[in-house]
Structure 1
């Protein structure tokens, strides 16, 4: 069985989920549950995702796309969101839940409602749907991160566990991303009449130096517990994880079903050198405002169809 054949069940699942959401939205509209249309715009983007699209204070990727590139952006991105939470009401276990009223994640449901509510003029100006997701699924909590890495004392040549990369990134996260992209595509075809371009990204290489937000530190503590006391060793581990996430995304997009999906490669955009990385990284997971997020937004903007 080819890799693309293995993706087919998740693609079909995403199509069923997309149709389910569209039909549910139309039933609610028939009952009078509407949503206000977007303001008239020449270049419109819709977005869902995590903190790279929803960072406080203002200055994240979407803010730069509005301010510098003059897009009208409507978003339901939420900091800390996993891809699983964007799709499903509650994060699923090893098996994705059956399709019913409990499977509709708030962000995907919002996106369906927003697309369905576009006027004909707004549909014509919708340039792309942006998705920022997957980072929290891999490094969003200490236990998941630790499960991906061998203890330093074991002396492995490759600190990152290949078996767990396969399970978490190549299998689990790929399945979730496939369902999400297929569902969004189904909704856009049903509601807009075309496959609206989708832009995804795989983040940049973070610096696990222990700098957090409001006492939240995501990377350094778990890796230090595993015996990685040197910052350079921790940086190499995160580089391996980010490379694998990007490789999975790029491979998935070779599937003919996703010819309208574009990958923005953000790796190497922000410096990780000891001499200057704090000019580009606000903390372990987020770029600085305005410099870091500005550079990332430039890369994303370059992938949005004209």
Structure 2
């Protein structure tokens, strides 16, 4: 005979499973262990009336008497004693379930896609990643670097740490810090300038490393355009790393982030250019409460705060 999920058979007879509130089994075990309603109520930190009501509900669902009551307290019936072992198994299963849920909740895992500027990725974020990985070994990270603005609304990335403020989309935005820029050259270039007697801030005969046509919207590119007054750059690139290499090779001067140039032992020819840019953190609003995203956001916030002076 085919049985439904809520049915079982005893001696060939199909019976309906009792509808049990599994929380009532904790009351059953507490009374069995304590011997009184008051003892069970204290153990479970609920009222005696609640204990009594739940016991009655359980006995009604099972349609058996679990305890005998007398002046000494509550004593298990034979039927009740038979249920101690399965009730304890249920208790252990519930504890294991809760512990597993807690471990899963406590552990950050998954994949996060971070869009950021190449300079921040190469010289700030990546060197600090070992700590993030050690804290969250189940987390994987993808870093996307490009000068173009990543569209979080299209889910191109989960998080963006950029110098360009997103102006649309369902995103949460805030400023974390400021990235300072200066005009830098190598020691070798400065010793061989075409007109060393000229003031160091006169750039009429200097060579510059600039950005390609696609990056002319950048503050650094606009500053150079005004300074060279139509003269071609000695070299144009599409990446910050290429500009740093060119400056180190003595090809010319370039506008670089202070925190990178100083690490490369380059000389700051002019510090205040008006090219400083805010560092914006943007998160897709639907992901603001995601544990994996939150872990990376906390890491980035701490990293920017720790290096705030160096960056600016």
- Normalised by the size of structure 1, how large is the TM-score? 0.29
Q: Report which of the two has the higher share of strand.
A: 2
Which structure has more RCO (C-alpha within 8 Å, separation ≥ 6)? 1
Look at both structures and tell me which one has the larger radius of gyration over its CA atoms.
Answer: 2
